[in-house]
Amino acid sequence: MMHKASALIALVGASTALIAGAQGGSAAGGGLGDPQRHAAQGERAVTVPAQVAHTAPPATARTGVGHGVRVGKVTITTRERNGTYELVDPTRGGLSTHDFFADDNKKPLSDRDNVWGDGTMKSRQSAAVDAHFAAEKTWDYFQNTFGRRGVHNDGKGPSMTVHYDRNRADAFADHNGASFGDGKDGKNPTTSVDVVAHEYTHAINQATARLASSGEGAGLNEATSDIFGTMVEFYANTPADAPDYLIGEKANFYGDGKPLRYMDKPSRDGKSPDYYKPGIGRPDNVHYAAGVANHFFYLLAEGSGKKVINGTAYNSPTHNGSKITGIGRSKAARIWYKALTTQFSSTTNYKSARAGTLKASAALYGKNSTEYRTVEQAWTAVNVKQ
């Protein structure tokens, strides 16, 4: 959520939704629709002052034990004040987690013994553990990998809000935080590690490239969040959620246990294209336009053909029948991040994304490197040409 008084979550500035629509650039919108309509219907407002999550000194940091719905038993960093523990992480810029339906939702969740949740939806703390832990791991991934401290690289942590609305199967982000629904049945919180990191990354896009909210740019926007959502899932490497190239598989958005998207072969979802073609930026849901970039990233990282990673089977095809040997997910992510922060902009489309990642790979590894050549091959393999 944006730390601003009298604003609905994810309706401040630019908002993004995991499945209902994407919003980048500078316009407001996204999956929640019109702010005035929601306000008129009496939706609960979140009024978190800008300073609430950033006032406590690091000395108050404590290690808590969390039992999440999606992440299982984990350790989390909390803040102790006056004998009460709060879901605020002083070591990560005051990153905080809130309950949308709390009596005073401008305050982070609190607890007396620093043991949070019971792993089920019977405790409102359980989904908060998921979001808090995943946001901490996302902060750590971007800091330890790229030196980025927070969404805006200013050392300030974002705010996570759980139990958003009623029976909402979606997750949303704005400039400096995210909110997560509990699913259509109120029992399936959208707080898996890759979903939380996906939304966090939308805020980073808004702070950097500002990839567009429509057309091919929107597909690249969504793919960027899928890519780093996946990378954070590998980084977190929790027993409860083995890392994979499936998007939102633990969030169970549709109630059938299936992922939202598949990076190795996007068409496995029945709608996303495996390869580029003109008009790809005009599907009925911009998330499908992410398929081509997701496929590119998988090929760049892991290569083509059949393989099993962490127990999950993949079989990634290529448009031209070529065989590709991946360069590894770490190098692939470094190339994408450098392109995002130095080459991409609000006007970037698939052709210019190819050019931008080639420039990034040349800067990182050299124009005559295997990495550079594999970037070329992977784009050609998804039919994105010069």
Residue-wise DSSP of 243-280: --SEESTTT-TTSSS--SEESS-GGGGSSS-SS--TTT
Residue 348 has pLDDT above 70, yes or no: yes
Residue 245 has pLDDT above 50, yes or no: yes
What pairing do the DSSP bridges indicate for beta strands 305-309 and 312-316? antiparallel
Report pLDDT for 363. Answer: 98
Report pLDDT for 129. Answer: 98
pLDDT band at 84 (very low <50, low <70, confident <90, very high): very high
What pairing do the DSSP bridges indicate for beta strands 159-162 and 177-180? parallel
Residue 78 has pLDDT above 70, yes or no: yes
Average pLDDT over every residue of 196-217 = 96
Its pTM stands at: 0.88
Residue 2 has pLDDT above 70, yes or no: no
Picking from 171, 173, 196, the residue whose alpha carbon sits closest to that of residue 181 is 171
Report pLDDT for 158. Answer: 97
Percent of the chain with pLDDT over 70: 84
Strand partners, 85: 80, 111
Residue 52 has pLDDT above 70, yes or no: no
Q: Which residues are catalytic?
A: 199, 287
Q: How far apart are CA 307 and CA 311, in angstroms?
A: 10
Q: How far apart are CA 251 and CA 257, in angstroms?
A: 8
**pLDDT averaged over every residue in the chain:** 87
- Contact criterion met (CB below 8 Å) for 168 and 105: no
Residue 53 has pLDDT above 80, yes or no: no
Average pLDDT over every residue of 350-371 = 98
Picking from 365, 297, 368, the residue whose alpha carbon sits closest to that of residue 328 is 297
What tokens were used for 165? Answer: 């609305």
Residue 41 has pLDDT above 80, yes or no: no
Which has the higher per-residue pLDDT, 284 or 95? 95
Report pLDDT for 5. Answer: 26
